[in-house]
Amino acid sequence: MPTFTREEIMHLGDLARIALTDEEIGRLQGELNVIADAINTVQEVAGDDVPPTANPVPLEAYLRPDVAETPLTQEEAVSGAPVSESGMFVAPRILGEE
């Protein structure tokens, strides 16, 4: 018995504002049903003693320590700029050139 019906696939396409052909609806129905079957298989195998997880490999974020530092002064910030004026970067105008 299919998990996703053609009507549900058409409804999902409407929600996503995607025009689907009959061929695409049939292909998506098959693909989504395969995914749903795989999820059901995992659900059968995973018992109450198996905690839910997003990744089987433990991940840890490796971040540097957050240490406050003295920021650049305005003069230091613009010192490497090719062109600066009044302590600000000067860049070519790209909008409004009529």
Q: Are 87 and 75 in contact (CB under 8 A)?
A: yes
Model's pTM, two decimal places?
0.48
pLDDT band at 98 (very low <50, low <70, confident <90, very high): low
Q: Indicate the Cα dihedral angle 28, 34, 39, 45, nearest 10°.
A: 180
* 37-43 mean pLDDT: 87
Q: Are 39 and 66 in contact (CB under 8 A)?
A: no
- Report the distance separating Cα 72 and Cα 51, nearest Å: 48
Work out the mean pLDDT of the chain and round it to a whole number: 88
- Report the distance separating Cα 10 and Cα 13, nearest Å: 5
